[in-house]
Amino acid sequence: EGMALPQRIFPSEKISMDWQQRERPGAGLFNLGNTCYINVILQCLTYTPPLASYLLSYQHSQSCQQQGFCMMCTMEAHVRKVLCSSATAVLPGAVLRDLKFIGEEFEYGRQENAYEFLRCTLDAMHRACLSCHLDVSSQETTIVHQIFGGFMKSRVTCLSCQAVVDSYKAFLDVSLDIRAASSLTTVLEDCVTPKQLDQTECFRCSKCKKKAAASKKVTVHRAPRVLTLCLERADQWTGTKISKFVEYPEYLDLRPYMSDPAGEPLLCSLYAIVVHSGDTCLEGHFLCYAK
């Protein structure tokens, strides 16, 4: 509300959630020394059908106006190299060469976090799609946001007069606190359960015109085509790794966690997982599994 209708940078009807043709398993990626955090994310993105289909179509590179580094062109070349190569393994050389352009905090040869690399990669691809100055609503219609992007709804309810205030925020991924849960569904149920704001979060009700106790409920207002979840395994207080088992279904119904929980089931099919192996979050090895 109050925002101009967005320009459509990429038409949503052109996004295909299925492979345009059957693809055989592509080439593996060589680990060049502490580059596993890069390889696992590149592999998961390579086997994300709507993104791979778009990149294999050359739609971006044929109209790209970026000067110098372009993450979409880099990913297009990488996906084609992996899926079309006859080799058993290839070097992700272009990505490693331009690592500083993807995230200036990354240093070649040093162990890094795969989740942070994913976020930086998606942001870099998103920026590559913005050829001119656009308002916020238009920026969220790039191919990246149309595949990975959704909207969260935050509803704050005044516990004195029951007035509600809604706000919305775009997201490309969702980070989840797993300390008190044994399954993904219990984590999500806790996320959408209303919680009373603590005293440090001042809430002044616009209806009863006073500071009042309030509760807050967060739901998925618009689901992304591809849902990316991060199970937080680094304890925020001690920094130690949370190694507990968290059950995750192959098919997740997102509907109970939506703003409108009474609609048709919204099934998400699990197709890729990144796993960290190691005793602490500061060292170890990343593996990935993808359909």
- Catalytic residue positions? 36, 285
Read off the tokens for 52. 């791979």
Strand pairing category for 89-90 and 28-29: parallel
CA distance 41 to 25: 16
Q: Each residue of 133-144: b (16+ CB within 10 Å) or e?
A: ebeeebbbbbbb
What residue type is assigned to position 112 of the chain?
A: E
CA distance 41 to 89: 16
Which residues does 106 contact at the CB level (< 8 Å), separation at least 6?
99, 100, 112, 117, 120
DSSP codes of every residue in 175-236 = EEE-TT-SBHHHHHHHHTS-EE--TTS--B-TTT-SB--EEEEEEEEE--SS--EEEE-B-T
